[in-house]
Structure 1
Amino acid sequence: MAAGSAPGWALGVLGVVYLFLKLDFISCSQEIYGAMNGNVTFYVSKFHPSTEIIWKKEKNKVVEWDTQSGLEAFQSFKDRVYLDIGSGNLTITRLTKSDEGLYELESPGVRNKSEFHLKVIAPPPSPSTFCSLSDDGNITLTCEIMEAGYDIDGNLLQYSWECPPTVQCHRGSSPSEAYVLKKSDLSQNVQCIVSNPLFRTSASISLSTCVPEDNTRHRYVLFAILPAVICGLLFLKCFLGRHSQ
């Protein structure tokens, strides 16, 4: 019995797999990022020309087209959407944060369930960089966005550091921190990069500003100049003394 049922079980599994591939109805929503005040297009796959196309956002109509009534856009999407009736693709212009959400295409011309989750993001402000010197002489670098009120899409921000080959950088306790070893070339600059899925900005810091200025060389220069100044004053005194006689 067991030996005889094995081929049947295998055929059953293959049949289920074939059914899934044939029907091709499994679909996940796509994560789409759009720039604030920019445009975004939802591209539909496996679309066949149809007599009716409806795009919805959170179950509310965005735009509707059919062969009888033509095209109609709804609510805040009026004058901001373009529908390609040949491909089903939808373009939204002048994006705002209120456009975020789940969009879905309903049409007899699409076999798969087409869903797109839109996230509208803005470019991050330029970061500010700071540094501090530890007791062991190593340098801690910090990168922060200081612009008041900027907390939009903070969870999408990524921090990274670019260091020259002569600077030994190590990851800090958080992505916005980095450590530089004291034996590094402190005449170099280190760059902090802040990015999100659409934008990238950066700021640099000179490592020489992170350590106290070495005054030893200045002391040597002073010691070399001081005798010359004294000799010059003595010469001037003698010269004036002769003329006074």
Structure 2
Amino acid sequence: MEILVTILLLLIPVNSAAVKKNLTSTEGGNVTFPDPLQQTGFLLFGTQVIAMVVNGGLNIPQNVFRDRILRNSSTGALTLTGLQRTDSGDYSIQSVVDDVSSRFLYELKVYETVPVPSVDRVSNDSCVLLCSVGAAEETTLSWYKDVELVKSSSSAASLDLSLQRDDFSAEYKCVAAKPVEKKPVSVHVHTLCPEVSEHNTGRYVVLIVFIVISLLLLALFILLYRKRKKRKQSKGSVKEEEVEYSDFIIRQRLNPEGSPPDAVASDRPPLINTLYAKLELHQMKPDHTTVGENV
């Protein structure tokens, strides 16, 4: 029956030239062919028929694909599951719709699963890190500093990276990639190179302490300068609240007869003058002396 269906399908003219489409996946994964097989047709691996659809029913003649080919009854899409490296190759779908045959070509590439890279320190004198993978076939190793690509190599089993002390503040990761997937691993530089990290941290601590001390000295200088300036201003001018006023009356000394000693001055009114002086506050003691007569 398989031979008969194949002969019949080959005898039906193809409507147009087929363009090969590239498909990729990894071991253990799945791949769905983009063109459906609706009513009648078959799926070939190279020149070998591995699945047939007759009147909407799926028939898988090859035992190696019997439990691995699935068909969506609604859309007619075919899916190949449990992929292996040996599944890589050329596939084709030939279907018949309304007595018109259509052919679709595919090239499937099945890659090994990308291994998780490992990172180790390889130098005791400096911080040199080595990123490596077990299988390097078609694997690209890359070093990233934050989001910037700093180093990369294709089909290499390992890739090293030398770090300087000034680079420790950034985040690093090594990425192993293949065309279908990639796997990154973050690198804890402070754990792999602790003595370099501590030395670098000590530099920042000294710098911070120096800055703090400089700021404190500057603040002290400004405070002393303002204090000195304020003291000079207080010495050069007298504050209003430190000035007190007092009135003094100067009386003339009278003769025993009760007349002024100078006849000329007797016609003048008593002289009244106001004196100003800076007064300082002192603790006053009570005066117990007897006040004599006015002089």
Q: CA deviation at 1:120?
A: 2.3
Distance across 2 between alignment mates of 1:42 and 1:59: 17
CA contact (8 A) 1:43 1:88 kept: no
Equivalent residue, structure 2, for 1:185: 167
TM-fit CA distance, 1:25: 2.2
* Matches of 1:197 and 1:173, distance apart in 2: 14
**Whole-angstrom CA distance in 1 between matches of 2:117 and 2:162:** 19
Deviation per CA, 1:129-177: give whole Å up to 9, x if none. Answer: 2345699x7x55431114xxx45xx11x222222138xx9733677753
Given that 2:18 and 2:105 are in contact with CA atoms closer than 8 Å, whether structure 1 keeps it comes out as no
Give the secondary structure class of the aligned counterpart of 1:55: strand
Q: Give the SS at the match of 2:115.
A: coil
Partner of 1:206: 188
Q: CA deviation at 1:43?
A: 0.8
Bigger relative contact order, structure 1 or 2 (CA pairs below 8 A, ≥6 apart): 1
Contact 1:169 1:179 in 2 (8 A): no
How far, CA to CA, are the matches of 1:169 and 1:98 in structure 2? 34
Contact 1:38 1:94 in 2 (8 A): yes
Name stretches of at least 5 consecutive residues in structure 1 with no aligned partner. 1-22, 218-245
Are 1:163 and 2:139 matched, yes or no? no
Q: 1:169 to 1:132 in 2, by over 3 A?
A: farther
**Is 2:26 the partner of 1:35?**
yes
1:107 is the counterpart of 2:87: no
How far the C-alpha of 1:72 sits from its partner, in A, is 1.2
- Once residues 99 and 215 of structure 1 are traced to their aligned partners in structure 2, the CA distance between those partners, rounded to angstroms, is 54
Moved more, 120-129 or 208-217: 208-217
- Quick check: 1:130 aligned with 2:120? yes
Cα shift at 1:54: 0.9
Q: Secondary structure at the match of 1:204?
A: strand
Q: CA shift at 1:27, angstroms?
A: 1.2
Counterparts in 2 of 1:173 and 1:31: CA distance versus 1, 3 Å: closer
Would you say the 8 A contact 1:41–1:90 is kept in 2?
yes
**Alpha-carbon separation, structure 1, partners of 2:80 and 2:25:** 9
Identity of aligned residues (%): 23
Question: Aligned residues, how many?
Answer: 180
Q: Is the 1:142–1:177 Cα contact (8 Å) retained in structure 2?
A: yes
For residues 31-54 of structure 1, what are the alpha-carbon distances to aligned partners after superposition, in whole Å with 9 as ceiling and x for unaligned?
212232232100118x8x55x211
TM-score (norm 1): 0.57
